[in-house]
Amino acid sequence: MGSLFRFLSHLPLPLLHNLGAVVGWLAWLLSPSYRSHLRENTALAGLAAARGGAIAEAGKAMLELPKLWLQPHDEVVERVVKVSGWDLVEAAWHEGRGILFLTPHLGCFEITAQYYASYRPMTVLYRRPKQAWLGPIIEEGRGANLRLAPADMSGVKKLLKALRSGEAVGMLPDQAPGAGEGVWAPFFGKPAYTMTLAPRLAATGATVLLAYAERLHYGAGYHLKLRLPAEPLTDPAAVNRAIEGLIRECPEQYLWGYNRYKAPSGAPEAAA
């Protein structure tokens, strides 16, 4: 598989996205559980119209990864052809504040951290993949300025230290946490086990930025979009509301097939 990844990394991005669209539809046709999650999640959010586009975009998200992880960092960053909201980053720099980037599974979430790390150091929360062969590939493609913090207490300490030093950290706030690491909070009207870490990090006084990179048509690159949340992210429910707002802007590019509503082993039952 490692050899296949390296081969794919050399293909042009437009070709990878075209192939990815095919792969997305094959996954839809061949996996009943994937179809079920995608149908239920888009219907629950009232975004069933985005389903067809989401199937193709999920495949694109998968096949663009080899290029993002294995090509030279400078070449990867050049794929970001437009940035909106960068003035918010510069304002945080001017004030000497740390920056907390919250990037959901929307668009090309891999490239957002790489883009920032082309300017200044950044620490991101990281769970090693279950496939052992994939770990070294992911770590190889992060770049010198992109540091990895394990998803445990030692990693949380690294994130807090970075923020207090005026640096940036990043995390996927819609990733289902393990038991004891989250609480149940509404996500599109249904209880989802949601990590408590994002509000804890926001409480440090860091600038909180919502971020995602929209995948442009025909492999033309990515549009990185940054914005302040509409309300203080003081609890997991507020974090979920902020994520919902981003998703509604670009619903076709959210990973609806992700089992967001799973209950981790040992977690308490959701309230009715």
Q: What pLDDT does 272 receive? A: 62
The two beta strands, 122-126 and 168-171, are: parallel
Tens digits of residue pLDDT in 186-225: 999 999 999 999 999 999 999 999 999 999 999 999 999 9
Residue 135 has pLDDT above 90, yes or no: no
Share of the chain above pLDDT 90, in %: 76
The two beta strands, 146-150 and 190-195, are: unpaired
Helix (H) or strand (E) holding 1: none
Domain boundaries of the chain, sorted by first residue: 2-253
Tens digits of residue pLDDT in 231-272: 999 999 999 999 999 999 999 999 999 889 988 887 788 776
Assigned CATH topology for domain 2-253: Glycerol-3-phosphate (1)-acyltransferase (3.40.1130)
CA angle in degrees (0–180, nearest 5) for 165-138-9? 130
Report residue 142's pLDDT band, with 50, 70 and 90 as the boundaries: low
- The residues near 209 (Cβ < 8 Å, ≥ 6 apart) are 85, 88, 89, 92, 99, 100, 101, 102, 226, 227, 228
Dist CA 99 CA 114 (whole Å): 15
